[in-house]
Amino acid sequence: MKKLFFLTRHYLICLTLLLPISAQALQISFWNGNKTPSRQLYEKQVLQAALSAAGVKTSIDIDERKLSISEEASVFSKQLFDVFATVQGNPKLNAENKILIAKPIMQGLLGQRLLIIRKTDLARFSAIKQNDEMKKMRSGIPTGWADVALFKANQYHTIELGDFETIFQYLVNNDFDYLALGANEIEQVYQQANLEKLDLTIAQTLMLRYNFPVVYYVNPNNPELAKHLNTGLELIIKNGTLKVMFDQHFGHLYSRLHLSDRTSFELKNPLIKSKIN
């Protein structure tokens, strides 16, 4: 009986080793920090949907820790994550080897930027009708954000200071005039940071718009994952799944925030040459 048990166990082990790689779960470490909960949920679900569409069985370890600028700049080489989502051309990654999955997932919504301002400046911002007027207002941007180079390239008055936790107090203190945030996240930020108590509000009539596609980057040591993710995203884009997911998460914002009715100023993104996605 013992001999039979040993042979059976040995057979099962050998059978497992002989299974095709595609039948085994692909282990993935996904960094999903330094962003709002709404983006975290959406980007996680899109990643899962894309890999599922590619026919890949996965085991995804999700890490939502906040990383410093230097840690994010080494997200693959030192932090050793396999994949994460960020804006295409993020300058923090300039020195990092990476694989770009050039299939934007946010329908351009992150690049439709609404403005957090002081309530006392509502009339001042509502009176703005020309781009030259907008350029004179002081834009406050947390240190290290990809927007800094973009605003400066468009000759906008740009002040880089603090971080996301301290930036609103700088606005209250009149160190700058506005903070531009994506339409997909501005309401959540406003509520979570309790900006009503700071006498801050969202400008009612204005929007800045620029090409700011959200994409996945993959660790260059994991080309298999990059191939599967690229294939899966292509599939869910073509069959409409990605659009359905986007509409479920963010579709209501277009009417609620009156995006089509706002005075809009378009900025050029010096790192992105293609049309707005």
**83 inside domain:** yes
At 226, the amino acid letter reads A
Same domain, 196 and 115: yes
Same domain, 33 and 53: yes
What one-character DSSP code corresponds to residue 237? Answer: H
Q: Share the mean pLDDT of the chain.
A: 91
Taking the C-alpha atoms of residue 1 and residue 63, their distance in angstroms, rounded to an integer, is 47
Same domain, 61 and 196: no
What tokens does 107 get? 């329908």
Taking the C-alpha atoms of residue 182 and residue 110, their distance in angstroms, rounded to an integer, is 4
* Closest of 2, 39, 14 to residue 189, by C-alpha: 39
Q: What is the DSSP string of 47-81?
A: HHHHHHHTT--EEEEEE-----HHHHHTTTTTS--
Q: Are 16 and 29 in contact (CB under 8 A)?
A: no
- Low-confidence stretches of the chain (pLDDT < 50) are 1-22, 276-277
At 179, the amino acid letter reads L
Residue listed under structure tokens 């900025």? 267
pLDDT in tens, 54-73: 999 999 999 999 999 999 99
Burial 170-181 (b: 16+ CB within 10 A, else e): bbeeeebbbbbb
Same domain, 104 and 165: no
Same domain, 131 and 58: no
At 131, the amino acid letter reads N
**267 inside domain:** no
List the CATH number of the domain containing 130.
3.40.190.10
Domain boundary among 192, 210, 228: 210
Same domain, 233 and 96: yes
Counted domains in the chain: 2
**150 inside domain:** yes
Q: Are 223 and 163 in contact (CB under 8 A)?
A: no
Same domain, 190 and 146: yes
Query: What is the reported pLDDT for 4?
Result: 39
Same domain, 218 and 206: no
Q: Are 257 and 206 in contact (CB under 8 A)?
A: no
**258 inside domain:** no
pLDDT in tens, 183-200: 999 999 999 999 999 999
Taking the C-alpha atoms of residue 29 and residue 43, their distance in angstroms, rounded to an integer, is 14
Residue-number span of the structural domain to which 162 is assigned: 111-210
Taking the C-alpha atoms of residue 259 and residue 163, their distance in angstroms, rounded to an integer, is 27
Domain boundary among 159, 178, 210: 210
Q: In 3-state terms, what secondary structure has residue 196?
A: helix
Same domain, 199 and 225: no
pLDDT in tens, 259-276: 999 999 999 999 886 554
Percent share of the chain, pLDDT over 90: 88
